[in-house]
Structure 1
Amino acid sequence: MAIPVADAFLPPDIHVAHLLAVATAVTAVGAGTRATTLVGSVALLALVAAGVERHTLLTESVLVELGALAAVSALLVVFTHLRDRHEQALVRARSVSDTAQRVVLRPLPERAGPVWLASEYHSSEADAYVGGDLYASARTSHSTRLIIGDVRGKGLASISDTAIVLGAFRAAAHRDIPLPELVAYVEDAVRWGLAEFSASEADLAERFVTAVMVDIPDDEPVVHVVSCGHPPPLLLRRAGAVVTTLQVPEPAPPLGLAFGGMYDGMYVPAIFPFHEGDRLILYTDGVTEARDGSGEFYPLAERVAIWADRAPGPLVEAITADLEQYAGGRVDDDMAMIVAQRGRVPATA
């Protein structure tokens, strides 16, 4: 609308009506097909108005400008239509992807029996919810079970192995079977899954999953831990802000390495005191191997002691924020963490 008004006050040898194409082009960049069509039509009417004002509407120059503007507007309308179709397809694909990823890595409940839970997950892949790290929880009739693990590799390429581990754990963890039997079941499922989906035997030998599985009985102030080549959990005592590393005396190799008889031993759980108010911190190496600008690893145990008075949710939030700041705002590896706090143990225990 401004261009034909300005055109009326300009000398006859200065003609700016060709700038009307800019309005249509700018609209096409940030708007949809309808808006581009509307602005293109108004631009054509404005060019006609400018030609009428100068009494040059039927001259060869103005007719050429009208034809060129109509052609440019039509092309921009087609462009926005195709772009909108691609964006809709991308939104649908993103929605399906997000749903599928959230099915694989379900959020933990805030409470499982007498145990309060909080968790944090970060994938190294942009816009991805699932990567090479994993966690899950399950309830039996008398205990809460947790798993945290790290698939060899990171990002989207490791999702299939993540799904195998989580599927096996969820299928068996709710049953009233001893923790060693649960670990053996998951190990068997991982070996089958890796063999089924590996392209070659060489590839199979290089694929494994480190994991920690814990069982927290409802009626006993202890925690049972089986470690399969995973970083040891931390135990934050309710009193004294004491952080203890739970080193398992008889750790097992990572899941998947028992293939071909590499490990035929029994899974032996370690038992540690876990009283009311104590917090158990499970994590992957994406936390402890994050580095600052000088290359120093993140001191998780020292940082946890600083926030010893915090509940699981605020504790996880504090560690996550501190970790990102420590690493300069960017954590390059997959990262997962669970904080579990023991509630009241029945007096009959």
Structure 2
Amino acid sequence: TKSDGKTAEVLSGAVFELQDSEGNVIKSGLVTDARGKLAVDELAPGEYQLVETQAPTGYELDSKPVTFTIEKGQKEAIEVRKTNTLIKGSVILEKIDGDTGALLSGAVFELRNSKNEIVIDNLVTDENGKLAIADLPYGKYQLIEVQSPTGYELDNTPIEFEVVKESESTELSKTNYGISKNVKLEKRDSLSNELLSNAEFKLLDSSGNLLIEGLVTDQEGLLLISDLDIGEYQLVETKAPEGYKLDSTPQTFEIKEDTKLITLTKYNTLINENRPTIDNDENVESENNKYGSSPHTYLPQTGEAKNYLEIIVGILVLLASLFILINRKVKNN
């Protein structure tokens, strides 16, 4: 009978050969069945041995012979037993920064078997960026990242491996990349909101130290700076788009641990920008200006003044004629 040396579970699939006491093969290909048994009949009296040539799947091969003796006239079957030890291996995983190659602590993993069942959870890489699992039974496994190191992107793609040999140590590695810390600036016309290309900027730290210069908005009016460290920054315009006024007021922003993208907007005004206003300019005239600033005062226009003058002159002539006529009548009387 073939069984597990620790659990006593019967084992099928173990292959043996029958040999005489001198090691000569009498029968080969003897396989334990579903009950963990194999039987050999009609053996002549003598000394024999059963030698395992193939262990059950997942178990160590134990080729030490199991000896037995058949006595003359023996009628009862002899039962012999053979145990096997489950193959166990180990795995070591190393967590690495994909850009610098530095080892990363604080990554959390879980171990799953071939049935996608959790075998061990909360496996954490140590200060050397490593985690180790020992005494893993034979089989296929996956290590899945469930929490990335601080400041790094999570990569939950399973890492597959298999334990196939006793005491075998499998070495694995997993790479993480830092969370992209980016800033995007949009350059726009202050009136039309149109995106503007060819504005030039420089990047300063919070103390005003120059970090990058010659940053130019592209044809779409955008400027992108990637992979910034945590901290406070200033974007200062050093050259405005053609035809626009320079605005060198710093655009401040802060990159934090979990920052992925900050979007800023910077507006520029045209140098000779004519905006609609109400004034007495010859090109912009309102209805009120046509008649003066007060809605209660009527100021006659040039043509209208001429007509009034003619009327006044006519009235004066009429009054003068009337005065002469009255004066004559008085004299005659």
Q: TM-score, normalised by structure 2?
A: 0.22
| The structure with more strand, counted as a fraction of residues | 2
Q: Greater Rg, structure 1 or structure 2?
A: 2
| The structure with more helix, counted as a fraction of residues | 1
Q: TM-score, normalised by structure 1?
A: 0.21
**RCO comparison, higher one (Cα < 8 Å, 6+):** 1
